Amino acid sequence: MAMLAGIVGFRGYSGVELQKILAAHPRTAPVLLEHRADSAPEVRPLGHEGPRRLPCQADEVAKAGIEVVFLATPPEVSMDLAPALLEQGVRVVDLSGAFRLRTAERYRHWYKEEHTQPELLASAVYGLPEFYREQVKGARLLSNPGCYPTAANLAIRPLVAAGVVDRAAGVVCDAKSGVSGAGRKPSLKTSFCEVTANFSAYSILNHRHVPEVLLNSDLKEREFSFTAQLIPIDRGILETVYFRAQGAASAGDLLDVYRKAYRDEPFVRLYPAGSVPDLHAVARTNFCDIGLRYDAATGRAVVVACIDNLGKGAAGQAVQNMNLMFGFGETEGLL
Amino acid sequence: MAMLAGIVGFRGYSGVELQKILAAHPRTAPVLLEHRADSAPEVRPLGHEGPRRLPCQADEVAKAGIEVVFLATPPEVSMDLAPALLEQGVRVVDLSGAFRLRTAERYRHWYKEEHTQPELLASAVYGLPEFYREQVKGARLLSNPGCYPTAANLAIRPLVAAGVVDRAAGVVCDAKSGVSGAGRKPSLKTSFCEVTANFSAYSILNHRHVPEVLLNSDLKEREFSFTAQLIPIDRGILETVYFRAQGAASAGDLLDVYRKAYRDEPFVRLYPAGSVPDLHAVARTNFCDIGLRYDAATGRAVVVACIDNLGKGAAGQAVQNMNLMFGFGETEGLL
Amino acid sequence: MAMLAGIVGFRGYSGVELQKILAAHPRTAPVLLEHRADSAPEVRPLGHEGPRRLPCQADEVAKAGIEVVFLATPPEVSMDLAPALLEQGVRVVDLSGAFRLRTAERYRHWYKEEHTQPELLASAVYGLPEFYREQVKGARLLSNPGCYPTAANLAIRPLVAAGVVDRAAGVVCDAKSGVSGAGRKPSLKTSFCEVTANFSAYSILNHRHVPEVLLNSDLKEREFSFTAQLIPIDRGILETVYFRAQGAASAGDLLDVYRKAYRDEPFVRLYPAGSVPDLHAVARTNFCDIGLRYDAATGRAVVVACIDNLGKGAAGQAVQNMNLMFGFGETEGLL
Amino acid sequence: MAMLAGIVGFRGYSGVELQKILAAHPRTAPVLLEHRADSAPEVRPLGHEGPRRLPCQADEVAKAGIEVVFLATPPEVSMDLAPALLEQGVRVVDLSGAFRLRTAERYRHWYKEEHTQPELLASAVYGLPEFYREQVKGARLLSNPGCYPTAANLAIRPLVAAGVVDRAAGVVCDAKSGVSGAGRKPSLKTSFCEVTANFSAYSILNHRHVPEVLLNSDLKEREFSFTAQLIPIDRGILETVYFRAQGAASAGDLLDVYRKAYRDEPFVRLYPAGSVPDLHAVARTNFCDIGLRYDAATGRAVVVACIDNLGKGAAGQAVQNMNLMFGFGETEGLL
């Protein structure tokens, strides 16, 4: 019988993606948890009413037999909802930034507000399975990574760990994202006429996803320059990573670093040396695709990493984590 | 009376833009020079036949009283057409890469073909007025800069010249362009379905525009990493430039470098420290807009420079150069 | 000396377009009239502060020497502001629907609210110069037509007047608009992710622009079917009009109807029989382009009419009307 | 064991969609049949080589155990390949227009070339399962419907059959399609810069899909006006259908016509009276969604029908037909 999986924030872009994945997943059935009344009822075809709905109350959720709840909510809402669910024995996969930064101080610094559940931070597991698979399996509170850091860490961490990055010269990550990454709440910045035929940079050097990269890739702030930018498309993240390589005689050497790191990873795909992925390659998948070019004569290296920000960057990775937490096959519902 | 200005390649995107600018320009009237028969005749409204047309033959061009010809053509066509026009006393503004790299060797290396008019290279003037205004005024063969190098040089050269760039750490230029930069000839890479909802990198580290940046900004190849990328929009270039600053205590110090360099420049606009332009700011203009962020504590600096690739990146700049070559007001027809 | 022209709602899409046209117009200088405080101050390049600003108070407006005010505002704001301005002798060009429907009853029916200035309705002139040029010249309160009705009336009215439309079979107008037609206020319906890769119909048969077509084209409601639809682009309206022709032996006969109607019109362009315009043909212009196909054997006729909804559909036409009202050349600032 | 299903034209947009559906289908495994050498080898991630490939020769196809071949090819190629495959006992699902029009005369008239396999026309089954399910089950040569006619027939045929359409007034079908409908071959008309920020009509009144609608909906040419139009999106078709209703007292009455026609149909979804679908509702599905508005007082009715042109309009419907031909569940691999 299908495991019941609740979704809070099911109308948001990550929430809708979770609905789709969990409905098609062989092991789960989604339940939509109403957290706030929605004034604009959506139009649905006759006879296609969609998943069951319940009010989002921890005791009722537990009573209904829901074993995991995905919080596709802002961090302050996640901090609000997580404790009661955990107390009821319901496992939580949180897609917000609430539990990603390990300490309340760091959260305050980057999110400009107090952390209201600091005691939960220690037990939260950062859900990047490629690096923390064993911890993920035992998680009760799973903190799903940010979209930008997912691609950045998958691109950068193995290189830093292998010592092929000249840290003195620094690492540049020029990141571009589709608009769904900004959420579904209407704003001028994400209005069609403002975004179309445009391209813009924001949060240069101070995006709140920066500390997630630093914490997991072992770079220091002074070694890492990050710019977030808006592409006029709905979904997809492409990150262009620049560094000076050391100890690598060829592109193949750098590629070998990735090959070793991701040998058995089902969701990381590598490209032949000199070739790089584009966003179409990963659209509506849970893959992170990585390719690179390297000019050995000058040491200049460029890595391109692509994900779907709603797939591996949010809902897809959240389900990958759920699969690990509940002992399902890691790729079930995701290939 | 209006000066006659010929356009070869008037159906291409730069050519159409030239048509618009020259038709509205108070000093000029465009003449369309047919170089190759066009199989698909365009539909035009009744009574709106557009500018006069002539075959593209140097002697007839001169006889018709055309004083300047814009070559919006591939480099091999430009090399083919320029000599006879110049011999006839017609000045030439070439929008191709044929005469930008100063030597036949460099051209061969980056364009993978022989230069057929090496003797013209010495007299060709590189038309970036902000740096070479006096030479432009006397040019008979004007080599209009590439779109990417225009933004890159305007962003980078003053910083390098002022000594605020840590050259050992290198300069990264992550460049993004609208699709019109690839020209109007149909290809799979610029087909709608391939480009829409996508974002892709190409010519990583080996784009033929790289030497134009090196030659004019005084950077060495090993100090400069450049990636070209395709945005799913028709026009606009945004370049994000990363470097480690030295000798600058604040963003204001870096901004001052630009202020000095561009004090009297009509087509370079600077943004308040911490603010950066987007593509809407420069769409259908001849402006290059520049803004920056700087973290003095770590030395990380990021500059964002925007142009319209068909404006300051091609046709607009070509007309700016024409204005200078013929003693018109530099901004005539461009504001 | 330039005539001062005020703009209320200068941050909206029509308002920004008015700013551009009036700043480049040889006879006018725009003044921005602040009606409501704007919380998000826009970023502008240093030294490019834009036009002068004044608070929007009728007496101050008059005192400042402003001779005409453009109201790019919702109808309720236009009704609020127009009387005091008119009393001060300032002429008003209203871009809202407040004064288009001739009677307060009709306004109530279609706009679902009371008209607060019914006494002004009689003197308001409907500013479609192709049909009401003489009245426009004497207008003090000019009601600028809606975007959809501008194209629809230019396409339909001459045909109905010439008697070539089989009214029993009815006229279908399938209208498509870019998103700027919905205004700049953020809403889910105009959010990038909702609009991109989408196409949707709205206000089928009951759009508030329908009565503007009926009133000016002499069709009855039962003879006219109208659907508004959203194209994922920022600007442009294309309307496909279907009818059964009578008394026309060929496409040329139908084209002749238009030729007679628009012989001296500077802003209506006709296409050769069988050819039709697309949105690129009219983008950023004040033209209405019209083409048609006709199958004489079966009587089926299809007309395609295109405008830029911010040009001939709003700001451009408003300036065309201003030109007539103040005795300027009708095309000044618009070609 | 999975049934082997060959695809000719697997690089085209319909072909790629077929690859995806057949690879995920529980009953099939795709085999790519190389018909012409492809000069530009695609880049694939290491270790992800995709399906098996074979040369497209009928005897080898049969020998390899392939039981059905999908022809995602131009009509002349389909006419070329189908006979030999059929002779080998391989069933054929043809996505081209080669076998849709029942007679060689009609093909010649609309496709402007001779039909080379007229003897196959009689046995070809038109694969619109909602109307021809029983014939589809026995088909050996299945002619998959055109994208526009699929939506048009599903919208129109039940209404005509029920007698609620005033045929004297005629039926208008204003059709809009994403660009993938034009195929993957590069052309100026489908180049990104020509399509983006544009909307255009083509083949007005004489599109080759018109006879498919007439043949299957029982309308006469003089009763049916059809315009095809290009939306700047990659996939999706929305058709707005206008007619005068007779014998219907309310929108509910018209909806009942559809309810009866599609009571048990898994891939047609109806909307509540007054609501209509948009393209997001059907993107990447095999659904046809239908909604309508009706003004009983004047008899004006408007139906909106949406499909994904690569789903129900091509590859999805082709697989639905295959499911019926081979006795699989009709929805297998499609929900």
Closest partner CB to D46 (pick from A272, A281, A284): A272
Average pLDDT over residues C16-45: 89
The whole-number pLDDT of residue B122 equals 96
Question: Could you tell me if A39 lies within 8 Å of chain C, comparing CB atoms?
Answer: no
Distance CA C179, CA C232 (A): 7
Measured between CA atoms, how close is D60 to chain A, in angstroms? 31
Residue with tokens 């103040």: C326
D234 to chain B, any CB pair closer than 8 A? The answer is yes
Q: Percent of chain B at pLDDT above 90?
A: 97
Q: Which residues of C touch A196 (CB under 8 A)?
A: 179, 192, 196, 232-234
The minimal CB distance from C298 to the residues D222, D229, D295 is found for D222
When pLDDT is cut at 50, 70 and 90, the band that residue B36 belongs to is confident
User: What are the structure tokens assigned to D71, written together?
Assistant: 């022809």
d(CA B226, CA B221): 10
In whole angstroms, what is the distance from residue A145 CA to residue C242 CA? Answer: 54
Three-state DSSP at D35 gives coil
Residue D60: helix, strand or coil by DSSP? helix
| Amino acid code (one letter) for A260 | K
Q: How far is CA A126 from CA A73, A107, A117, A123, C84, in A?
A: 17, 14, 16, 10, 63
A229/B244 CB distance under 8 A: no
A272:D47 CB<8 A: no
Which residues of B fall within a CB distance of 8 Å from D234? 192-193, 196-197
- In the block, residue with structure tokens 């014939």: D135
**Residue C237's closest chain D neighbor by CA?**
D199
Are the beta carbons of D302 and C205 separated by less than 8 Å?
Answer: yes
Q: Name which of A198, A221, A229 is nearest B280 (Cβ-Cβ).
A: A198
Q: Is the pLDDT of residue C39 over 80?
A: no
- Domains in chain B, start-ordered, CATH in brackets? 3-144+313-325 (3.40.50.720), 147-310 (3.30.360.10)
Per-residue pLDDT of chain A (335 residues; tens, 9 = 90+): 899 999 999 999 999 999 999 999 999 999 999 997 655 667 899 999 899 999 999 999 999 999 999 999 999 999 999 999 999 999 999 999 999 999 999 999 999 999 999 999 999 999 999 999 999 999 999 999 999 999 999 999 999 999 999 999 999 999 999 999 999 999 999 999 999 999 999 999 999 999 999 999 999 999 999 999 999 999 999 999 999 999 999 999 999 999 999 999 999 999 999 999 999 999 999 999 999 999 999 999 999 999 999 999 999 999 999 999 999 999 999 99
DSSP secondary structure code for residue B300 in this structure: E
Least CB–CB distance from C43: residue in B47, B197, B271: B271
**Using CA atoms, how far apart are residues A113 and A105, in angstroms rounded to an integer?**
10
Instruction: Answer whether C145's CB lies under 8 Å from C128's CB.
Output: yes
Which sign, positive or negative, has the C-alpha torsion A16, A17, A22, A24?
A: positive
How many angstroms separate the CA atoms of A140 and A126, rounded? 11
Give me the DSSP letters along B85-131.
Answer: HHHTT-EEEE-SSTTSSSSHHHHHHHHSS--S-GGGTTT-EE--HHH
Q: Which chain C residues are Cβ-neighbours of A13 within 8 angstroms?
A: 193
Select from C43, C48, C271 the Cβ nearest to the Cβ of B46: C271
Size of interface A-D (CB pairs under 8 A): 35
Which of A188, A220, A240 to probe by mutation at the B interface, max B CB count within 10 Å?
A240
A147 is catalytic: yes
- B127 within 8 A of B143, measured Cβ to Cβ: yes
**Of D322, D312, D289, which is closest to residue D4 (Cα–Cα)?**
D322
Quick: pLDDT tens for C184-202. Answer: 999 999 999 999 999 999 9
Q: A112 vs A118, A148, A266, D16, D21, CA distance in Å?
A: 15, 19, 37, 47, 47
Phi, psi of A262 (to 5 degrees): -120, 20
Contact B10, B33 (CB under 8 A): yes
What tokens were used for B158? 């003053």
Pairwise CB contact (< 8 Å): B46 & C270: yes
C279 close to D198: Cβ distance less than 8 angstroms: yes
Instruction: Return the closest-CA partner of residue D323 out of D162, D139, D188.
Output: D139
Provide the shortest C-alpha distance from residue A34 to chain C (in Å): 19
- The sign one gets for the Cα dihedral A179, A185, A190, A192 is positive
Q: Which of D26, D21, D138, D6 is nearest to D68 (CA)?
A: D6
The DSSP bridge pattern shows strands D171-177 and D141-143 to be unpaired
What pLDDT does residue B123 have? Answer: 97
What pTM does this model have? Answer: 0.98
Please state the rounded mean pLDDT for residues C22-29.
97
Q: Over the stretch B173-218, which tens digit does the pLDDT of each residue have? A: 999 999 999 999 999 999 999 999 999 999 999 999 999 999 999 9
**How far out from the chain centre does Cα B288 lie?**
11
Q: Which of A231, A280, A302 sits opposite B231 (nearest CB)?
A: A231
Nearest CA-CA partner of B247 in B238, B256, B237: B256
Question: Which amino acids of C are annotated catalytic?
Answer: 147
Q: Best mutation site among B177, B188, B192 for testing chain D: the one with the most D CBs within 10 Å? A: B192
Instruction: Report the amino acid identity of residue B306.
Output: C
Of B204, B221, B280, nearest to A276 by CB-CB distance is: B204
CA distance A156 to A131: 12
Catalytic residue among A147, A173, A288, A306: A147
State whether D227 and C302 contact (CB < 8 Å).
Answer: yes
The alpha carbon torsion through C36, C40, C45, C50 (nearest 10 deg) reads -10
Average pLDDT value over all residues in chain A: 97
Write the residue in B46, B196, B272 that is nearest to C46 by C-beta. Answer: B272
In the numeric block, the tokens 């057409």 are attached to B81
- The answer to whether the Cβ–Cβ distance between D281 and A45 falls below 8 Å is yes
pLDDT band, residue C164 (cuts 50/70/90):
very high
**Which chain C residue is nearest to residue A232, measuring alpha carbons?**
C192
- Determine contact: A166 vs chain B, CB below 8 A: no
Please tell me the distance from the alpha carbon of residue A41 to that of residue A18, in angstroms, as a whole number: 19
Assess whether pLDDT exceeds 80 at residue B41.
no
Which residues lie closer than 8 Å to D37 by C-beta, 6 or more apart? none
> In the numeric block, which tokens belong to residue D43?
């880049």
Cβ–Cβ gap B300/A225 under 8 Å? yes
Contact B304 A205 (CB under 8 A): no
Angle at C317 between CA C119 and CA C136, to 5 degrees: 45
Chains that touch A (3 or more CB pairs under 8 A): B, C, D
**CB contact (8 A) between residue C276 and residue D198:** no
**Average pLDDT of the residues of chain B:** 97
A271/D46 touch (CB, cutoff 8 Å), yes or no: yes
Angle between helices C104-111 and C210-217 (to 10 degrees): 140
Which residue has 């048969």 as its token pair?
Answer: C205
Q: Which residue of B has its CA nearest to A174?
A: B174
Is the Cβ–Cβ distance between C126 and C100 less than 8 Å? yes
- Biggest alpha carbon distance in chain A? 64
At residue B1, the pLDDT reads 81
| Amino acid present at D227 | T
pLDDT per residue as tens digits for the range A6-65: 999 999 999 999 999 999 999 999 999 999 765 566 789 999 989 999 999 999 999 999
Q: Is A15 helix (H, G, I), strand (E, B) or coil?
A: helix
Under DSSP, the state recorded for B289 is E
Strands B300-307 and B288-295: antiparallel
Name every chain C residue with its beta carbon within 8 A of the beta carbon of A188. Answer: 40, 184, 186
pLDDT at C150: 98
Per-residue pLDDT tens over the stretch A38-50:
556 678 999 998 9
Residue A43: per-residue pLDDT: 86
Q: What is the DSSP string of C234-301?
A: SS-EEEEEEEEB-S-SSHHHHHHHHHHHTTT-TTEEE--TT----HHHHTTSS-EEEEEEEETTTTEE
What is the per-residue burial (b if ≥16 Cβ within 10 Å, else e) of C242-255?
bbbbeebeebebbb
Residue A126 is classified by DSSP as: E
Q: Nearest Cα to B319, choosing from B15, B56, B84? A: B15
Contacts of C233 in chain A (CB under 8 A): 196
Interface test with C, best of A190, A191, A233 (most C CBs within 10 A): A191
D290/chain A closest Cα distance in angstroms: 9
Phi-psi region of A17 (alpha: psi -120 to 50; beta: other; left: phi over 0): alpha
Under the phi-then-psi rule, with left for phi > 0, alpha for psi from -120 to 50, and beta for the rest, what region is D286? alpha
What is the block-wise mean pLDDT of chain D (335 residues), using blocks of 10 residues? 96 97 98 78 89 96 98 98 98 98 98 98 98 98 98 98 97 98 96 98 97 98 98 98 97 98 98 97 98 97 98 98 98 97
The C-alpha torsion from C9 through C14 and C19 to C23, rounded to 10°, is -150
Alpha helices in chain A (DSSP H): 13-24, 58-63, 75-87, 104-111, 129-137, 147-162, 192-195, 210-217, 251-261, 279-282, 316-325
Q: Which of D63, D58, D14 is nearest to D35 (CA)?
A: D58
Q: Interface pTM (ipTM) of the complex?
A: 0.97
- Nearest residue in chain C measured CA to CA from B284: C284
D55 in contact with B at a CB cutoff of 8 Å?
A: no
CB–CB of A187 and C187 under 8 A? no
Q: Give the pLDDT confidence of A77-108 residue by residue, as tens digits.
A: 999 999 999 999 999 999 999 999 999 999 99
**Do C298 and D221 make contact, defined as CB atoms within 8 angstroms?**
yes
Whether residue B287 contacts residue B261, with contact meaning beta carbons closer than 8 Å, is answered with: no
Radius of gyration of chain B, Cα coordinates, nearest whole angstrom: 20
Residue C157, min C-alpha distance to chain B (Å): 20
pLDDT at C36: 78
- What pLDDT sits at residue C43? 86
From residue C103, alpha-carbon distances to B73, C157, C212, C213, D71 in Å are 59, 21, 12, 15, 61
